[in-house]
Chains A and B, each alone.
Chain A
Amino acid sequence: MGAAEAIARGTLRDSRTRTLSFALLFLFGAAAQGATYRSAYPTVEDRLRLARSFGNNEAVRLLYGVPHDLLTVGGWMSWRLGAIPIFAGLWGVLAAVRALRAEEEAGRMELVLANPVARGTVFRAALAGIAAGAVIVWLGLFVGILAGRASAGGSAYLALAIMSPVPVFVGVGALACQLAPTRRMATTIGSGVLVVALVLRMVADTSSAGWLRWLTPLGWAEELRPFTGAQPLVLLLPAAASVLLLVASAGLARRRDIGDGLLSARESAPPRLHLLSSPTALALRTLAGGVIAWLIGIAATAVLMGVVSNSVASGLSESVQRQLEKLGTAATSASGYLGFAFLFFVLALSLFACFQLGAMREEEADQRLETLLSLPVRRAGWFAERLLLIAGLAGALALSAGVFAWAGAVSQGVDLSFGRMLEAGANCLPLTILFLGLGALALALAPRAGTAIAYALVGVAFLWETIGGVANAPRWTLDLSPFHHVGLVPAEPFQVTGAVVMVALGAVAALAATWAFDRRDLVSG
Chain B
Amino acid sequence: MPSAILTDGLTKRYGETLALDDLDLDVRPGEVYGYLGPNGAGKTTTIRLLLGLHAPTAGRAELFGIDAWSDPVAAHRHVAYVAGEPYLWPSLTSAETLEFLARVRGGTDIAYRDALVERFQLDTSKKVRALSKGNRQKVQLIAAFAARPDLLILDEPTSGLDPLMEVAFRDTVHEAKDRGQSVFLSSHILSEVEALCDRVGILREGKLVEQGTLAELRHLSSQTVEVTFDGAAPPPPELPGVRAMKAGDSTLRFEVSGPVAPLITALADKPVVALQSREPSLEEIFLHHYGGANGHGSS
A binding-site residues for B, Cβ under 8 Å: 181-182, 265-273, 276-279, 282, 286, 366-368, 370-379, 519-522
Contact = CB atoms under 8 A, between A and B. Distances in A.
B226 interface: no
A367 B85 contact: yes
Contacts of A371: 81, 83, 87-88, 140
Interface string B81-112: 10101011111110110011101111000000
Given A282-B89, A375-B76, A375-B104, A267 B81 contact: no
29 contacts: A182-B129, A265-B127, A267-B130, A268-B123, A269-B93, A271-B124, A272-B96, A276-B99, A277-B103, A277-B104, A278-B103, A278-B104, A367-B85, A370-B48, A370-B51, A371-B83, A371-B140, A372-B104, A373-B53, A374-B51, A374-B81, A376-B106, A377-B76, A377-B104, A521-B48, A521-B53, A522-B48, A522-B53, A522-B54
B125 interface: yes
B51 A269 contact: no
A360 to B, nearest CB: 14
Main secondary structure on B side of the interface with A? mixed
B51 A373 contact: yes
Nearest to B77: A376
Contacts of B51: 370, 373-374
A16 B39 CA distance: 32
B126 interface: yes
Contact of A269 (B55, B73, B106, B125): B125
B104 A279 contact: yes
A375 B91 CA distance: 20
Contacts of A286: 89, 91-92
Given A265-B127, A272-B96, A286-B91, 17 more contacts: A181-B129, A267-B130, A268-B123, A269-B127, A273-B96, A279-B104, A282-B100, A370-B53, A373-B72, A374-B76, A374-B79, A374-B83, A376-B73, A376-B77, A376-B105, A377-B76, A522-B48
A268 B126 contact: yes
Contacts of A376: 73-74, 76-77, 104-106
Interface string B149-185: 0000100000000000000000000000000000000
Cβ-closest 10 pairs across A and B: A374-B81, A267-B130, A521-B54, A271-B95, A276-B100, A268-B125, A376-B76, A367-B87, A368-B87, A376-B73
B90 A182 contact: yes
Contacts of A266: 127
B178 to A, nearest CB: 24
Interface residues of B, number: 40
Contacts of A521: 48, 53-55
A276 B88 CA distance: 14
B104 A271 contact: no
Contacts of B130: 267-268
Contacts of A276: 96, 99-100, 103
A296 to B, nearest CB: 19
A373 B47 CA distance: 13
A20 to B, nearest CB: 27
Nearest to B85: A367
Given A267-B127, A277-B103, A522-B54, A366 B79 contact: no
A273 B100 CA distance: 8
A375 B105 contact: yes
Contacts of B125: 268-271
Contacts of B53: 370, 373-374, 521-522
A379 to B, nearest CB: 7
Contacts of B126: 267-268
Nearest to B147: A375
Given A371-B81, A371-B83, A521-B55, A378 B99 contact: no
Contacts of B74: 376
A272 B97 CA distance: 11
Contacts of B92: 286
Contacts of B103: 276-278
A271 B99 contact: yes
B41 to A, nearest CB: 18
Contacts of B55: 519-521
Nearest to A522: B53
A298 B55 CA distance: 42
Contacts of A367: 83, 85, 87
B236 to A, nearest CB: 50
Contacts of B95: 271
A378 B153 CA distance: 19
Contacts of A268: 93, 123, 125-127, 130
A379 B72 CA distance: 9
A42 B36 CA distance: 77
Nearest to B144: A374
Contacts of B79: 374
A271 B93 contact: yes
Most buried by B among A366, A376, A520, A522: A376
A516 to B, nearest CB: 12
Contacts of B83: 367, 370-371, 374
Nearest to A279: B104
B279 to A, nearest CB: 37
B63 to A, nearest CB: 11
A262 to B, nearest CB: 16
A374 B153 CA distance: 10
Contacts of B87: 366-368, 370-371
